[in-house]
Amino acid sequence: MELKRVVVTGLGAITPLGKDVQTTWENALAGKSGAGPITHFDASLFKTQFACEVKDFNPGELFDRKEARKYDRYSQLAVKAAADAMKDSKLDLEKENLDRIGVIFSAGIGGIKTFEDEVGEYFTNQEKGPRFNPFFIPKMIADIAAGHISMIYGLRGPNYATVSACASSTNAIVDAFNLIRLGKANAIVTGGAEAPITPSAVGGFNAMHAISTRNDSPQSASRPFSASRDGFVIGEGGIALILEELEHARARGATIYAEVAGGGMSADAYHLTASHPDGLGAKLVMRNALEDAEMNPDEIDYINVHGTSTPVGDISEARAIIDVFGEQSYKLNISSTKSMTGHLLGGAGALEAMFIALAIRDQVVPPTINFTEGDQDPDVDYRLNFTFNKAQKREIRAALSNTFGFGGHNASVILKQYSK
């Protein structure tokens, strides 16, 4: 069968860099950091006392007080992003067949704050017997944001969540892409959200030495490809993309950001939390994405890397790029926007897919911040253009985004300039 073409027609976001897409993008291009002291809880006794939080988010802008209590923060952020993406897409739902519009929306963890609150209340007040909020389970589960979005808009197409740790929302995008090009849906709201800035999440990542402890300088803590990197900075947010079948989009005169060219998936099959040191899964997933897109390495101009600022992961991903792209590696731009946004875990892939869509639209590469010349890692090949510290204008015909998750889950997506 002939596969249908798929395009991006709407974007929505609430991130540590801004409460909307445009503010987030402008701050990313300006090289601003979203990191600061944790305000969601008292982190004074934790090894890490900072994070990339969403600022000044008021759920009351979306829900009345009673309704808001049914949503964990991660779902609130998801609904905000989806609402903005739907508005941006200009889809007129009164004219659409809602049986053919779906929602594939992810979280790596889901409602961890709800879980903490409910279980904490139980153990604090055991003498009163088991008293749990009737919304405990539906607030906590990782698929509920997809459910909320479908119910708000009456979307009856494919509806589920992908859960693959930090690869979750890239997997969601790839699944949405595949269903649309197979003719199973006209459009899909896809993306991811996470709200993991909680005691158990920060404490858990501290225990495994995964996050930075640079408490004296939060804004410079995420420093991918620098010798002094000491882990990622945890972040939160919600990001949504509207993926749409091309002819459906053209028929209604939709604005097209970029075309989805292909996606890849793979597994490291190596370690619970660490990337394969030789980047085997990373190499495989990029090759799979290129094959799916029917593209050669020299057709990619920009890679938004997973680039979390961890000692092993950054090196293995850089080596994998060189192995896959060869001499083209030194001609393309690479950047880790996590240096500014922090790591949104299950929302990371959607945020970085949004960034490559905007990079293609505006023909500019956002930077990797916090690098200094005296902080070079001897195991990193600095002939690669990591777009350090300043955005760079260049021709971007196509861009690739990598995401790698605990458990060895890898997913990549390629977007390209739309042409008739």
Q: What is the pLDDT of residue 126?
A: 82
Q: What is the pLDDT of residue 407?
A: 93
Q: Are strands 409-416 and 101-106 parallel, antiparallel or unpaired?
A: unpaired
Residue whose tokens read 């709407």: 10
Is 0.75 topped by the overall pTM? yes
Whether 27 has a pLDDT exceeding 90, the answer reads: yes
- DSSP annotation of 378 reads T
pLDDT band at 417 (very low <50, low <70, confident <90, very high): very high
Distance CA 331, CA 103 (A): 37
Distance CA 193, CA 145 (A): 8
Which residues are identified as catalytic? Answer: 166, 306, 343
Residue 304 and residue 415 in contact, taking contact as beta carbons nearer than 8 Å: no
Whether 357 has a pLDDT exceeding 90, the answer reads: yes
The mean per-residue pLDDT over the stretch 405-417 comes to: 97
The mean per-residue pLDDT over the stretch 314-328 comes to: 97
pLDDT in tens, 167-177: 999 999 999 99
Query: What are the domain boundaries of the chain?
Result: 6-416
Angle formed at CA 291 by CA 177 and CA 335, multiple of 5 degrees: 75
Task: Look up residue 30 and give its two tokens.
Answer: 């300006």
Angle formed at CA 349 by CA 1 and CA 179, multiple of 5 degrees: 20
The values of phi and psi at residue 75, to 5°, are -70, -35
Whether 131 has a pLDDT exceeding 90, the answer reads: no
Write the burial class of residue 206 (CB in 10 Å: 0-12 exposed, 13-18 middle, 19+ buried): middle
Task: Look up residue 104 and give its two tokens.
Answer: 């594939």
Strands (E), 204-337: 237-245, 258-267, 302-304, 333-335
DSSP 266-293: EE--S-SSSPPTT-HHHHHHHHHHHHHH
pLDDT band at 128 (very low <50, low <70, confident <90, very high): confident
Task: Look up residue 37 and give its two tokens.
Answer: 């002291």
Strands (E), 358-397: 364-365, 392-393
Residue whose tokens read 């991903």: 317
Q: Which CATH architecture has domain 6-416?
A: 3-Layer(aba) Sandwich (3.40)
Distance CA 45, CA 221 (A): 19
Distance CA 173, CA 169 (A): 6
Residue whose tokens read 């055991």: 126
Query: Could you give the strand order of the β-sheet that contains 6-14, starting from the edge strand earlier in sequence?
Result: 159-160, 101-106, 187-194, 237-245, 6-14, 258-267, 409-416, 398-405, 302-304, 333-335
Q: What is the pLDDT of residue 278?
A: 84
Strands (E), 30-72: 36-37, 50-51
Q: Are strands 333-335 and 6-14 parallel, antiparallel or unpaired?
A: unpaired
Residue 265 and residue 410 in contact, taking contact as beta carbons nearer than 8 Å: yes
Residues contacting 352, CB < 8 A, separation 6+: 170, 304, 337, 401, 403
Residues contacting 178, CB < 8 A, separation 6+: 263
Whether 236 has a pLDDT exceeding 90, the answer reads: yes
